């Protein structure tokens, strides 16, 4: 599944740690699959959030068929599954389609917290 927004990044097994766990801001991870109808609907919501929160949030998509190791590592057994990571830790998770508002509630105020400068 290729995102249509330039602000949503397709992540695989080799890039997950760098793109998600080492990110300098909160990350919304959309676990999806090309064959999943509800995932396509949710993808539009995720892309809208990415476009509206550039620089504050990072949004990535993981196709579970292309990166089964990552799905297994985080116990993803159904799609769509959304997770929020902050400072390398999973801080929220939701299974199934949701609204933009509920997804932003998962992020909370994490996008507005100051970040330590990298050394």
Residues carrying an active site annotation: 36, 39
Classify each residue of 45-81 as buried b or exposed e, where b means 16 or more C-beta atoms within 10 Å of its C-beta.
bbbebbeebeeebbbbbbbbeebeebbeebebeebbb
């Amino acid at each position: 599944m290729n995102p249509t927004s330039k602000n949503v990044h397709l992540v695989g097994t080799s890039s997950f740690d760098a793109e998600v766990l080492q990110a300098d801001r909160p990350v919304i991870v959309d676990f999806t699959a090309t064959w999943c109808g509800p995932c396509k609907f949710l993808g539009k919501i995720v892309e809208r959030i990415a476009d509206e929160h550039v620089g504050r949030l990072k949004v990535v998509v993981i196709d579970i068929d292309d990166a089964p190791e990552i799905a297994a590592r985080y116990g993803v057994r159904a799609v769509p599954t959304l997770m929020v990571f902050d400072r390398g830790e999973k801080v929220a998770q939701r299974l199934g389609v949701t609204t933009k508002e509920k997804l932003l509630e998962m992020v909370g105020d994490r996008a507005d917290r100051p970040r330590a400068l990298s050394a």
